[in-house]
Amino acid sequence: MITESIFGKTKDGVEVKEYTITNANGMSFSAITFGAVIRKVMLEDKKGVLRDVVLGYDSVENYEKDDTYLGAVVGRYANRIGNATFELNGEVYKLEGNDNGNHLHGGYNGYDKRVWDAETFEGELGNGVTFKLFSPDLDQKYPGNLEISVTYTLTDDNDLMIDYRAVSDKDTICNLTNHSYFNLGGHDSGSALNQYAMINADFVTEADAKSITTGKMIYVSGTPMDFTSEMLIGDHIDDDYYQLNYGLGYDHNWALNKKEEGEMILAATLENRKTGIKMEVYTDLPGVQFYSGNFLKGELPGKDGVRYLKRYGVCFETQYYPDSINKPEFPSPILKAGEEYKTTTIYKFV
Ligand code: GAL
């Protein structure tokens, strides 16, 4: 089932719509045209109680004020670019240094702050909604007119699939992700640290004190970054380990174990044993930023007035590695003129 409603208006008076897609099992998600935000993901726990497992807000105003990217699509380049600078085809591009002089999630007017066009559909795999955005040449100082579409499809197997597509008329860089914060105990259940996570990665990219990748890979075995088997997120998050000290907890890019570039694999899992809700994350992208919500402060009231404090939700941001445009040893985020940026991430609920 697909329903459509008016969610509200931006401060400039632009209408924001919300779409809710429900599958045959009674699982649903709701997404809004502001930031292509996934605002709700509802499913039954093991006792049959309906839980909303993502953090979100009840008003457009709070999404406009938010600086934590709750549920949004971020871009043109998700995560950080060191010194807010990169070079492409001999040309130097200086971006907005919105994070300690580095560039983060597209800068001050990221895709998370735009009102996207939307169209719902009923498809073979499931029903869903496609969001579209046009990002003109030199928008956020990136080269190339970029036509973007992000499609959310909900299958009857409880897969929430995200298909990202983009085409530019000039060579550019592109790295789109979704910034949903999950708490499988429910968005209103407090800390997310009592959940088990697995990340299918033997290596994590080393970050410096400002979360810029150094180019070095850390073998996770024997460190608190080892999620190769399920581990309680809270078990080692406050260990005295230099990477955790820099990130104030988990906020790092794991280099996924892949046999070949573009292979779709199980990248991560998240499980809450109290509610019995488990999520699997699949992606064809090379990395995942596992971010434990260290900067959440509950400044704005969330859904039903709930305040989301530090570590009340965790993100699995599938992506090219941070600062990969300045690290030739990393998989390249360059999108050539006329070629299609095409990647898929699935959040599957089992
Ligand atoms: C994450 C990033 C964090 C923080 C957060 C937004 O993707 O890795 O360092 O900036 O977004 O608050």
pLDDT, one tens digit per residue, over 119-170 is 999 999 999 999 999 999 999 999 999 999 999 999 999 999 999 999 999 9
Give the mean pLDDT of the chain: 98
Average pLDDT over residues 321-337: 98
* The CATH number of the domain covering residues in 2-349: 2.70.98.10
Q: Of all atoms in ligand 1, which is nearest to the CA of residue 211?
A: 9
What are the extents of the domains in the chain?
2-349
Choosing from 18, 103, 105, 179, the catalytic residue is 179
**How far is 344 from 172, CA to CA, in rounded Å?**
20
Structure tokens at 80: 């950080």
Q: What percent of the chain has pLDDT over 70?
A: 100
Which residues face 213 on adjacent strands?
207
Structure tokens at 134: 């046009």
Q: Give the pLDDT band of residue 206 (cuts 50, 70, 90).
A: very high
> What's the pLDDT at 276?
98
Q: How far is CA 35 from CA 38, 48, 128, 183, 184, in A?
A: 9, 31, 16, 20, 23
Task: State which amino acid sits at residue 230.
Answer: E
**How far is 107 from 103, CA to CA, in rounded Å?**
6
> What's the pLDDT at 197?
98
Q: How far is CA 251 from CA 50, 54, 209, 237, in A?
A: 30, 18, 11, 10
- Under DSSP, the state recorded for 65 is H
> What's the pLDDT at 14?
98
Q: Give the pLDDT band of residue 199 (cuts 50, 70, 90).
A: very high
Structure tokens at 123: 């498809």
Average pLDDT over residues 255-270: 97
> What's the pLDDT at 40?
98
> What's the pLDDT at 311?
98
Best mutation site among 99, 295, 311 for ligand 1 pocket (most ligand atoms within 8 Å of CB): 295
Instruction: Using the mean position of ligand 1's atoms as its centre, give its distance from the Cα of residue 68 in Å.
Output: 7
CA angle 319, 144, 15 (to 5 degrees): 75
| CA-nearest residue, atom 8 of ligand 1 | 251
Structure tokens at 2: 């697909």
Instruction: Using the mean position of ligand 1's atoms as its centre, give its distance from the Cα of residue 79 in Å.
Output: 7
Q: Give the pLDDT band of residue 201 (cuts 50, 70, 90).
A: very high
> What's the pLDDT at 254?
98
Q: Is the C-beta atom of 251 inside 6 A of ligand 1?
A: yes
Q: Identify whether 103 is a catalytic site residue.
A: no
